[in-house]
């Protein structure tokens, strides 16, 4: 009858050594998945401006001088998420003191009752190598309405000034102020309803 051959002692030892050598690889934890880094808007390098038509003659350029915010971004995958931008409505500035007071009043921003204007977006859609469509919500005067920002990722690199890692972004969007209940001057055409937004900022990786 045929008999089953038993490996000799040296062969069995070699087999055991090979299994023991592979054991650390089998038990090693899976590589950690890289997480998107958190970025904070640099308050010293941000411009949030707007344009509003005045009586059909020309558009008034204004801005907000106090803006903060953050988001998450993965340089490798280009995944952008958790976008939040907060604007201090009392910081509105249009280079005309009387007009600025009017903009802060209940006719427009009602800054005493609503001191914050907030844009949030849980995710963003990549539309090109360095472009994104950010579909979110703008909360203004207590009302939330959809707002889409078209953003361009300009540059990411270590700052030569303070050695922090900085990301630069340009974004544009537009909304109707009447959709938030800001109706002053809309019916008679004195003040434009459509408000284009101009956003330029640098953000530091944390």
Q: What angle do CA 44, 99, 59 make, to 5 degrees?
A: 80
For the segment 40-98, what is each residue's pLDDT rounded down to a tens digit? 999 999 999 999 999 999 999 999 999 999 999 999 999 999 999 999 999 999 999 99
- CATH topology classification for 37-205: Lipocalin (2.40.128)
Residue 37: what pLDDT?
A: 96
Render 18-50 in DSSP notation, one character per residue.
HHHHHHHHHHSPPPPPPPPEEEEEEEEEEEEEE
Beta bridge partners of 150: 133, 172
Residue 30: what pLDDT?
A: 47
pLDDT above 90 as % of the chain: 83
For the segment 126-164, what is each residue's pLDDT rounded down to a tens digit? 999 999 999 999 999 999 999 999 999 999 999 999 999
CA 167 to centroid of chain Cα atoms = 11
Assigned token pair, 115? 């001191």
Q: Are 91 and 64 in contact (CB under 8 A)?
A: yes
Residue 35: what pLDDT?
A: 79
Domain boundaries defined on the chain: 37-205
Assigned token pair, 17? 């050594």
For the segment 25-56, what is each residue's pLDDT rounded down to a tens digit? 545 554 444 579 999 999 999 999 999 999 99
């Amino acid at each position: 009858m045929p008999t089953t051959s038993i490996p000799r002692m040296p062969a069995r030892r070699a087999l055991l050594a090979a299994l023991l050598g592979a054991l650390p690889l089998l038990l090693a934890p899976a590589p950690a998945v890289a997480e998107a880094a958190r970025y904070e808007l640099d308050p010293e390098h941000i411009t949030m401006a707007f344009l509003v038509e005045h009586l059909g003659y020309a558009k008034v350029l204004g801005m907000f001088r106090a803006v903060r915010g953050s988001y998450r971004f993965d340089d490798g995958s280009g995944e952008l998420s958790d976008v939040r931008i907060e604007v201090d409505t009392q910081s509105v500035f249009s280079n005309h003191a009387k007009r600025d007071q009017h903009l802060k009043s209940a006719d427009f921003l009602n800054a005493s009752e609503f001191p914050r204007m907030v844009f949030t977006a849980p995710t963003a859609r990549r539309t090109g190598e360095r472009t994104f469509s950010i579909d979110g919500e703008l909360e203004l005067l207590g009302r939330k309405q959809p707002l889409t920002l078209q953003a361009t990722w300009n540059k990411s690199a270590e700052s030569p000034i303070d050695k922090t890692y900085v990301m630069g972004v340009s974004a544009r969007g537009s909304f109707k102020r009447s959709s938030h209940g800001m109706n002053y001057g809309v019916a008679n055409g004195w003040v434009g309803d459509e408000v284009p937004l101009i956003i330029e900022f640098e953000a530091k990786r944390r």
